[in-house]
Amino acid sequence: MNEQHEDERSRIRAAMDRLLAGQPTRSNGSLTAVALAAEADVHRMALHKRHADLKEEFYARVRAETHQTPEVEKRLRGEVVRLKEALKESRAAETESRHRAEQVVLAAAVLILRKTTGHDQPLPGSVVPFRPDGA
């Protein structure tokens, strides 16, 4: 690893310590990856890409030292709940669609059967005209 990479890693570790101690100097002090990057004076994407292990270490320390769930994890858990509900609704709609499709297929089969057997003519007296013959 080069010197710049090691410098970034040491700044990130120092930033972790400051944030967990509640003594931020460059960020708002929240226990998030964005605040960690700002506190360490590294680009946010550098934290996510080059130093992902330190980001995970930070979240593990947040859980262990503060007994809090990181904001990212809270958001993701909420999203999981929302997606599970959407999946449940989607499955219910799919079941209803399948039921309707079966009904349409059965109705079509009945109509085809009636047509092929010559039973498609209405029974006498079962048809009521819209207009009386004299109109």
pLDDT digits (tens, 9 = 90+) for 94-118: 999 999 999 999 988 888 887 777 6
Q: Are residues 10 and 58 in the same domain?
A: yes
Report if residue 73 sits inside a domain.
no
Structural domain harbouring 39:
3-68
Question: Do both 113 and 56 map to the same domain?
Answer: no
Task: Decide if 33 is inside a domain.
Answer: yes
Same domain, yes or no: 27 and 64: yes
Q: Quick check: is 129 in a domain?
A: no
Give pTM, 2 decimals: 0.55
Residue 52 to residue 63: CA distance in whole angstroms: 17
32 belongs to a structural domain? yes
- Number of domains present in the structure of the chain: 2
Mind listing the pLDDT tens digit for each residue in 37-65?
999 999 999 999 999 999 999 989 988 88
In 3D, which of 21, 28, 26, 13 has the Cα closest to residue 58? Answer: 13
Q: Are residues 57 and 86 in the same domain?
A: no
